Amino acid sequence: MEKEKSAAKLLQEKLCVQRKNGVLRTSEEDMKLCDEYCENYKSFMDTAKIEREAVEFAEAAAVKAGYKPFEKNMSLKAGDKVYYVNRKKAVILAYIGKEPVSEGVHIAAAHIDSPRLDLKQNPLYENDETAYFKTHYYGGIKKYQWGTIPLALHGVIVKADGTSVRVSIGEDESDPVFCVTDLLPHLAQEQMKRSAGEILKGEELNILIGSRPFRDDDVSEKVKLNIMSLLNEKYGITESDFVSAELESVPALKARDIGFDRSMIGAYGHDDKVCAYTALTALLDCKEIPQKTAVVVLTDKEETGSDGNTGLRSSYLKYFIHDLAECFGMDGRTVLSRSECLSADVNAAFDPTFPDVVERRNAAFINYGVVVTKFTGSRGKSGTSDASAEFVGRVRKLMDDNNVVWQTGELGKVDLGGGGTVAAYIANLNVDTIDVGVPVLCMHAPYEIVSKLDVYMTYKAFVSFLSE
Ligand code: MN
Ligand code: MN
């Protein structure tokens, strides 16, 4: 027999927020679906390490689900599915709803670029009979974390004749990998006096790529020549072709379960492919035609400030909505002004080893579900779009009505740091926008950690929103 609750206890339950781990608020059946869902998420993470690969994955999945390339002035009706790829590095999908688009669309946005080491335009050199690539890091990283870990190389090289070749090396077990070297502790006395941001300096993030000389006594830089000879054999390139390449060095690590209970996932690039995957699959899993037209945008360049024509500070999303509106003889700005957006990006998860950086009452915890964040920014909410109480109220009800485990989360203590997302750029189009996402441990590290429950609840949040 359950002990009868006191009047005070009942009143407290009625009036005060009750904290309870999300696992304890989720049925065993749902937990099983959660674990199954995360198996597919892990294989996505091993396939789509960079934005181009994420776009290819999304396009292939969309085509399989009946999506057709979007064209200006095409005739569209409820139930039609279209997609648009922006320069191979960003993609928009739309599932035309029952209501006219003039009533507004539902947008889920996430980014598919992640922090990494990009090769410079003239990357290849030989030093003391060892060959290296010079890099310029992409996004906010703790540089020292990128030494002495296995690195893979992904991207594209455009050759002098205009043809291009794709590169993906270091993911297969039989592939070689690459590495940024670091000093042994025995000789690091001076290095360890450097500030942490400079333990490995930007110009020390040099990737080791070879050490065997070309067998010939006639030339200098034989190791470099040997590497160039191998690259020419494999990709048909010469050294000058690096000038027109986008080669991204990422951790050669697979997504793995973390913990004896397998409750978490470690992987490179959860930020923000975890939101990209959950948004994408939520749209593709929509069984019935949604009321509102559902739009998913997977964007590039968030980690460097969203500038550039594949980032969300550019007009490509706005133009897509305008073009979509025109297909129905509507004007784009009316559609945008009535639209809503879940801007999906990861949030900092509370780390019990470093409790002092957050204010506990407003921090996000792993296993407490999808994080709903009214405002981001820093130092007096600078740089945030700050969702209205009305829109937060609407999203909160949507989550509760659909049994989505959710929490709030502010990125760190006031004035301690902070960060922005693409939310502000979408809100600036006159769209009601709020931040949602998955809490992440070790964000921006080569290996980031999420909880499976939070991944699944983020998926459920998108299903609720996009299938409305
Ligand atoms: Mn992010
Ligand atoms: Mn980030």
**Separation of 461 CA from ligand 2 center, angstroms?**
21
Nearest by Cα to 423 from 434, 431, 412, 411: 434
**Separation of 311 CA from ligand 2 center, angstroms?**
14
Tokens (6 digits) for 339? 């639209």
Min mean pLDDT across 8-12, 74-78, 351-355, 382-386 is at 382-386
**Separation of 75 CA from ligand 1 center, angstroms?**
35
Q: How much is the pLDDT for 425?
A: 96
Q: How much is the pLDDT for 350?
A: 98
pLDDT at 1 over 70: no
Q: How much is the pLDDT for 235?
A: 98
**Separation of 38 CA from ligand 2 center, angstroms?**
21
Confidence of residue 2 (pLDDT cuts 50, 70, 90): low
Nearest by Cα to 294 from 158, 458, 128, 105: 105
| Average pLDDT over all residues of the chain | 97
Q: What is the pTM of this model?
A: 0.97
Instruction: Report d(CA 65, CA 16) in Å as an integer.
Output: 45
Average pLDDT over residues 131-152: 98
3-state secondary structure of 189: coil
Phi, psi of 256 (to 5 degrees): -135, 155
350 neighbors 449 (Cβ within 8 angstroms): no
**Closest ligand by atom to 274 CA:** 1
**Separation of 302 CA from ligand 1 center, angstroms?**
7
Q: What domains can you pick out in the chain, each with its CATH number?
A: 18-114+268-466 (3.40.630.10), 116-251 (2.30.250.10)
**Separation of 359 CA from ligand 2 center, angstroms?**
20
**Separation of 113 CA from ligand 1 center, angstroms?**
8
- Quick: pLDDT tens for 434-465: 999 999 999 999 999 999 999 999 999 999 99
